[in-house]
């Protein structure tokens, strides 16, 4: 088989790229290791920047998001037992965020691609890519015991941090930047209607906590924990007790508990692979960069990447011009590094650091006091949180 764009990975990056290319009249095939059911059930981030919402809406896959997503006008930062609200619209010329689960975005994109007849190869084995520096790169995989090979004009590596595409880049042609944080997040999903309209980020002496939501019926909550901790050490009662201590202050607010349907521990890391282009291979999303979830940037960076890549490929096929393809990596990385800076800053400001001195602790609290009492400080959080311009 031959296609114009071979896409590895059926996450939001790969699926949205395929959809945007379809709208431009460019053929693509998406190849994915996992089953459709597995891909649609993966629970990941759920905060969409204004730019991400606009891309999904303008490309015709945002109807359910606009109907079911939860639009938020701000977030709250809690410290020293008090909550302080950062108001987005008045600080960002009307921009907001929308809470709508990544798995819901994936479901919408899969439905759109299949309705348009777009090929998605699920449940593949022995997936590999070859010839990324050649004029005709290849995707090889086994499905149903049969070997398949797809040749393409260009490859898009949208297969995540552990995928095969970045591994196919020849040694010495890639520079890696990485930071591993000395704490993790314990996250839960609970069948409990949210008792708060917006997210609460809490800096507490016992450690960071985040109150979030996924729908009008489901609450999403996180606790800072030790990276070496085992989820077996966290029975439900201990989780709820710790969340109540870290999130509830002296204002009388209490959140609802509910049946915990999912829990797990997630490592915190920052990672950037540069450049994001190698010959005919273009990396996008988690295949090229990982951010700690504190800044809610992961999926939004993936959307910004593939939007730029789709436009560059459209220009190439329409005119033969390669300037947009040639600048893809540099322009994406400018936005990636700004998101890394914001995510690192939010993470550093909100988490308890083991071994921190009393001086360092007071500096952390002073930073929170500044950003919640100064319009300039609040604007810094607001404009980064709702999303910097995609262009």
The most distant pair of C-alpha atoms in the chain lies apart, rounded to whole Å, by: 65
Residue 43 has pLDDT above 80, yes or no: no
For 232, residues 6+ apart whose C-beta sits below 8 A from its C-beta are none
Residue 45 has pLDDT above 80, yes or no: no
Tell which phi-psi region holds residue 378, choosing left (phi > 0), alpha (psi between -120 and 50) or beta: alpha
Residues 289 and 256 reside in one and the same domain: no
Confidence of residue 364 (pLDDT cuts 50, 70, 90): very high
pLDDT of amino acid 250: 80
Domain contains 74: no
pLDDT of amino acid 46: 86
User: How much is the mean pLDDT over the chain?
Assistant: 96
Residues 132 and 246 reside in one and the same domain: no
- Please answer whether residues 9 and 158 qualify as being in contact, where contact means their C-beta atoms are separated by less than 8 angstroms: yes
The residue count for the chain: 391
Total of domains in the chain:
2
19, 22, 72, 289: the catalytic one is 72
Exposed / middle / buried, residue 390 (Cβ in 10 Å: 0-12, 13-18, 19+): middle
Average pLDDT over every residue of 107-126: 96
Taking only the tens place, the pLDDT of each residue in 179-224 is 999 999 999 999 999 998 899 999 999 999 999 998 899 999 999 9
Range of the domain at 186: 181-268+351-385
Residue 111 has pLDDT above 90, yes or no: yes
Confidence of residue 360 (pLDDT cuts 50, 70, 90): very high
CATH at 263: 3.30.9.10
141, 181, 201, 222: the catalytic one is 201
Residues 287 and 337 reside in one and the same domain: yes
DSSP string, 65-83: HHHH-EEESEEEEEETTEE
72 classed as catalytic: yes
297 classed as catalytic: yes
CATH at 108: 3.50.50.60
- Please answer whether residues 101 and 41 qualify as being in contact, where contact means their C-beta atoms are separated by less than 8 angstroms: no
Confidence of residue 27 (pLDDT cuts 50, 70, 90): very high
Domain contains 75: no
181, 293, 328, 351: the catalytic one is 293
Residues 47 and 121 reside in one and the same domain: yes
Confidence of residue 33 (pLDDT cuts 50, 70, 90): very high
| Positions of E strands within 13-105 | 28-31, 47-48, 70-72, 74-79, 82-87, 97-99
Taking only the tens place, the pLDDT of each residue in 122-174 is 999 999 999 998 999 999 999 999 999 999 999 999 999 999 999 999 878 99
278, 297, 328, 351: the catalytic one is 297
Confidence of residue 365 (pLDDT cuts 50, 70, 90): very high
179 classed as catalytic: no
């Amino acid at each position: 088989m031959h296609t114009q764009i071979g896409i590895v990975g059926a996450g939001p990056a790969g699926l949205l790229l395929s959809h945007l290319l379809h709208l431009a009249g460019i053929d693509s095939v998406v190849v994915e290791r996992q089953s459709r059911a597995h891909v649609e059930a993966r629970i990941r981030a759920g905060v969409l920047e204004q730019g991400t919402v606009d891309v999904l809406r303008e490309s015709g896959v945002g109807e359910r998001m606009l109907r079911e997503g939860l639009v938020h006008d701000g977030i709250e930062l809690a410290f020293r037992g008090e909550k302080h609200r950062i108001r987005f619209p008045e600080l960002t010329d009307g921009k907001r965020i929308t809470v709508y689960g990544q798995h819901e975005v994936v479901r919408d994109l899969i439905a759109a691609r299949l309705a348009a007849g777009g090929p998605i190869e699920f449940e593949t084995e022995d997936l590999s890519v070859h010839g990324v520096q050649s004029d005709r790169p290849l995707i090889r995989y086994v499905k149903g015991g049969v070997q398949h090979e797809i040749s393409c004009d260009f490859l898009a590596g949208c297969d995540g941090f552990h995928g095969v595409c970045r591994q196919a880049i020849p040694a010495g042609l890639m520079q890696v930047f990485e930071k591993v944080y000395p704490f993790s997040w314990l996250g839960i999903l609970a069948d409990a209607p949210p008792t708060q309209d917006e997210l609460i980020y809490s800096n507490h002496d016992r450690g960071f906590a985040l109150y979030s939501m996924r729908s009008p019926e489901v609450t999403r909550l996180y606790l800072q924990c030790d990276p070496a901790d085992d989820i077996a050490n966290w029975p439900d009662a201990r989780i709820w007790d710790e969340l109540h201590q870290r999130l509830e202050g002296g204002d009388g607010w209490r959140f609802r508990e509910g049946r915990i349907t999912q829990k797990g521990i997630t490592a915190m890391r920052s990672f950037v692979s540069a450049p994001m282009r190698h010959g005919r291979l273009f990396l996008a999303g988690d295949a090229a960069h990982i951010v700690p979830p504190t800044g809610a940037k992961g999926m939004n960076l993936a959307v910004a990447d593939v939007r730029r890549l789709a436009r560059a490929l459209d220009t190439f096929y329409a005119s033969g011009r390669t300037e947009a393809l040639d600048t893809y990596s540099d322009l994406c990385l400018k936005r990636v590094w700004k998101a890394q800076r914001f995510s690192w800053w939010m993470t550093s400001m909100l988490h308890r650091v083991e071994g921190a001195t009393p001086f360092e602790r007071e500096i952390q609290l002073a930073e929170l006091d500044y950003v919640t009492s100064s319009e300039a400080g609040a604007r810094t959080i607001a404009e980064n949180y709702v999303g910097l311009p995609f262009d």
